Structure formats: structure tokens, C-alpha cells
A and B are shown apart, each in its own frame.
Chain A
């Protein structure tokens, strides 16, 4: 701990996925010296999958998470495609996987916006905790609460139709997919698309209006300049299932572009800090001090040149009207960009459902030349996800490295907490209700999945501790 500081700890954090706590270190003048989002649980997935046969991985590693298992399922499947030498899936294999992935993005974004974030946006950060929750939303905005449920259900039905189960399915297999989409499944989903589109457009409008109405607040709230990283298609379009890495600086200038996932180690490294099980990735070109970046909806909307579906592209242009065309660096802009992606997802889903390739029978591409090592990436709901495996000649995994989205946002979440704490409590060594609320709102904007990020187990409540220069806890508040 830095000399002459006090520490505030917030534990547990609520309405995020996983378990974490926050420490705020104060100096002798009770000013914020540093804030730390501790990820204190550990699961060790990367170690215990060693020795397992490679074809098991897509089903095994998705058990990291019950919220976006599809991301891990598909990312592992993509890596295994590479291991068995499949560089191009069949049209049915590729499109079924894409449908599964966009269904996943859709349900996850709907869940986050309507059920986790909307209480903060609808009632204000300082509204009483008793009201500022999903039950409060159901009571005062029943239409929105129902939309959230129905939208999540739609995404889950897509996952079931493509993966066999709503949670932890088996659809993606090495080289392809194990089923196509029946006409009956297609028609059931198609019947819902127009409604989903209408609600998605409304959700974008809610997020946009919220941001514009509260522009003065959100321009300051947990805001800071950062680099942004995401996959983009070869032509610079947003692509959530595949693509190559692009990193841009806070002003929009490119740092790296079209870096293949296989070359990620040339560009990205991870730093370990003693107080968290979650690592800190950074761009090697810039180093750990300035090379950290944000991922997820905000980074993706910032990094892409355009979105190739018309409604989402129109929404993206509106987003950039506010920033005069340069990237947005506001923590709270995550909500708006997340809803632009929600809209993009339903547009992609609608297009895919009209594609006859989904009813094809050519499900799996034949294996090519075997590789001992492969790296796959995709854009999970929370950001860039990397799976890196080595497999020996007996088909057993010898090494795994999983860099998940929340890990990429680690530094950013710490910065957001520090900024919020500085604005809220400097000079008063006390954890106020307002501080607790604001820290939660700030962290929640990143939609962190802490269980994934540490490959961790358990519930996710919030604890905040205030610790003084001698290391004594001077205040502590928890929220179950």
C-alpha cells in the first residue's frame, strides 16, 4: 500500500455477475490515492482442463459462466477448428454459429440493460436501494420489465435452437455444428423478429435520451480517456463473431489494426498485481502504464468504421453526432453503445433467419492439416474474448490461456472507481450511501462478469472498505 493512505472497501458489489469488492486508499488528507476492484475468487479452469481431450473443450470451458457460456463455447470451438486444420466452415456451420452468437449477444445485452442497469437509469443513482432494483422497475415500468424478459427469452430460444439447450448446449463441434435449423424452429423465431426489432429501437432511444438528458452528469461520471480494443472485419465493419484486432487511442487514432488472433502475443501482454486474481492486459507497444484499454460495446462502437446493418448504423451515426465524430470515452456511454449492438444483433438475426443455408445438411468441414497450437477470438457481450490452446499428438490439451472481456476492462473499472470516489468523498473519510451507489453504477456500466474473469465461483455482493494510512479499516459497508 502507498505510504500515508487510508483505505475504503466496498463489498459486495451488487447487480454484476460474480463476486468482488472495492478498496479505496486515502492519503493523510483523506484524498483518494488509489482505488482497487479486488477479484478475490479463483477457479483455475486453465489448469484443470490440461489433459482433457480437445473435442471436449467447447462444452467444458463454457461452464465458466452461466450468463454468456455461448461465448466460451464458440471461442473454444473456433480454436479447435484451428487445431484440426479447418480454416473455413461450411456455410451452414458458419451461419448456425453466427446465429447462436448473435442470439447470445441479444439476450445478454437485454438482460443487462433492462434488469441490471435500468434501475439506475430510470430512478437515478441516488434513489433508495429498496426501489432501485428490478422489482422497482416491474412496479413502475411494467412494460419495460416485460420487454426485458421477452427479449432475453427470444435470445435464449435462438440459443436453444442452435445449441440444443438454452444454457450450456453442445451445438458447436470441431469443424462445424451438430444440427441445422429446422423450418419449424426458423418460423417460430421469425414470428418474433418484428416485435424484437421494435423493442430494440425503443431501447436505443431510451439509452440515447438518457445520455442526452443527463449529458452534464455522464460527461463527468467515471469518465476518463482510454484506448479501445475490438475485433473488426477486414473492411472495418463491426463483426462480433470473427475478425482481426484493432486498437485505437482516445482520440480515435489507430494503434494497431488487422492483427490476427494468432499474433496476439506480439501485441498484448498481461500484468499480475498482488491484490487481485484478475490480470491486467495491456498493449505491448505502449507498455502497462499507458497501454491498457477498454473492450466491450463502447470500444466496439468506437473502433469500427461502420455497422453493416442499416438501423444500427443509423444509431451509430447518431451516437457520433454527440462526440463530433471522435470516440466517446464516457463510462456511461456503454449503455447507449450496448443498445446499438442489441439493435444490430436483431438485424443480423433477422437476416440470418431468412438465409436458406441454415437448413443445409453439410454441417461439418473435413479436418485439414493438424496444428499443435491455436488462438481464437470473438467479441463476447462484454468484449474481446481470447482462447489460446496447445494440444499434443495424443489429442490432449497441454496449455490453455483464456483472456476474458472483464479482464480486459480491469484497469478501466479501477479507473472508473477511482474517479467516482475522488469526486464523491475526497476530504471525508466515510462511506456514504451516495458513494456506494455511484461506485456500483460505475462498475455496472462495464457489465463485468467477475465469475468469468477469475474463472470464479459464487454470488456477487458488494463490500467497500475504507482503510487509513496505517492500514486500519476506518469504515466498511456491505450490501448483500
Chain B
């Protein structure tokens, strides 16, 4: 990797990227938040959720997979893109069974936090109410597929960070779901409660058992400030 700086703009703001950085990474370093769900620091980007969609020289691209290039004109926080992201988040909600009111991830869930950030009070699309399987066979880990958004973070984290292959996708289209590498369920895999794949889940789909609501309301990750606030810095502060 060279030290050559790559200059481009996001919403008119000048950004300098290092060679090999994606638009999302360069933006984050510069204090610009690009909303994302399937992206996680330390994992190969997948470009799966499309929440990070930006316009690069006018073309829609996922910021998490788009390498920064000199002279790019990137649009991020525009009404059009906000609307598109709202729609994507909305569809993720109605496609699963996301009941925040009794979900222990509530207040620390990235999907819910994005919905709050984008002002989604209720979905505009009809709920699909899919029938999804639970897997409680592991002594320390619980899978609730009702809350899975197929971001694939657990799939990648298991392989890239844990050196295992516990999770993968099966099925296609609306039947696509997360599977584990044992027919009898997660309890038969080499998944451990210490696996980083468990922490990778942005929603309440992969949970450590018996933790539940140990963190009181008011002290949960997104109780204090909206998601992305820790990244955002005004341009003047640079």
C-alpha cells in the first residue's frame, strides 16, 4: 500500500483516501458517516444490504465495496439517497419478524437504530410475517432467524475472525436463510460462546443465552446518541 493520497469529494467536502481504501472507509476516517448494515470493520466487505448506497459520478454504488479513486464526486447525504436507504431499511423490517418491543437487542440493534436515525416510525410496506426457525440447541447461543436480515456478518466473521465455518446461507430469494454446519443445529457445531461471529450480528438474531435485558434502558448503546454519531465530525473541526 503506498502513501499516495487519493483526493475526492463527498457531498462537496474534500476527502483524502489512502490507496486501497473504500469510499466508506475513507469517509469514516474523515468524519463522514455512510449508513451501513452488512459492513463491519475487519471483515471483507460484501455489498449485500445496499444501505451504504452512494452515487459515484452519478452512478449508484455500494460505498463499502467501491474503491476510492482520484477526482470521484460522491453523493452521500442527499434526499434521494436518504429516501432509498429508508426504503431498504423498511423492506428489511417487513421481510422478517422484527418485534422490537420484546427483543433484548432493542436499544443496541443497528437495524432499529438506523430506523430511528431515518425517522421510520412504522413500515410503509406490508409485513410478510414469514415463518422462521429458532435454534436453541447450543447451550450458550440462541439463534432467532425471525430477526435475521441476511447481512452475512456472522458468515464472514466465523471464517475470517474465528477460523471456523459455522454459518452459511442456504436457499434462494425469499427462502434464503442462515444455516449452520450441522444438521442437528448449532449445538452440534464447533461454535463457542466466545466466537466473534456472535458479536458480529447487528440485530437480535444471534444471541448469547441468558444475557437478556441485563443492560437497563438508558445505558444501551444507542440510548445516548443516534447510530453513526460517533463517526460524524463537522468539516470545520478537521
A interface residues with partner B (beta carbon < 8 Å): 51, 53, 55-56, 58-60, 63, 163-165, 168-171, 173-174, 178-179, 364, 394-396
Contact = CB atoms under 8 A, between A and B. Distances in A.
B212 interface: yes
Contacts of A53: 136, 142, 207, 209, 212
Given A53-B142, A55-B212, A58-B213, 8 more contacts: A59-B101, A59-B102, A59-B213, A170-B216, A178-B214, A364-B214, A395-B209, A396-B134
A38 to B, nearest CB: 29
Contacts of A63: 101-102
Interface residues of B, number: 18
Contacts of B218: 164
Contacts of B216: 164, 170-171, 178-179
B162 interface: no
B101 A164 contact: no
A51 B211 CA distance: 17
B139 to A, nearest CB: 8
Contacts of A58: 213
B210 interface: yes
Contacts of A395: 136, 142, 209-210
Contacts of B210: 55, 174, 395
Interface string B205-238: 0010111111111100000000000000000000
Residue of B207, B213, B215, B218 with most partner-chain A CB within 10 A: B213
Interface of B: 101-102, 104, 134, 136-137, 142, 207, 209-218
25 contacts: A51-B134, A53-B212, A55-B104, A55-B210, A56-B212, A59-B104, A63-B101, A63-B102, A164-B216, A165-B217, A168-B101, A170-B216, A170-B217, A173-B213, A174-B210, A174-B212, A178-B215, A178-B216, A179-B216, A364-B214, A395-B136, A395-B209, A395-B210, A396-B134, A396-B136
List the 9 closest pairs (A to B, CB-CB), nearest first.
A164-B217, A55-B212, A394-B136, A170-B213, A60-B102, A179-B216, A178-B216, A164-B216, A59-B102
Contacts of A60: 102
Best-surrounded residue of A63, A170, A171 (most CB of chain B within 10 A): A170
Contact of A56 (B102, B214, B217): B102
Contacts of B207: 53
B140 to A, nearest CB: 10
A173 B214 contact: yes
B143 to A, nearest CB: 11
B209 A173 contact: no
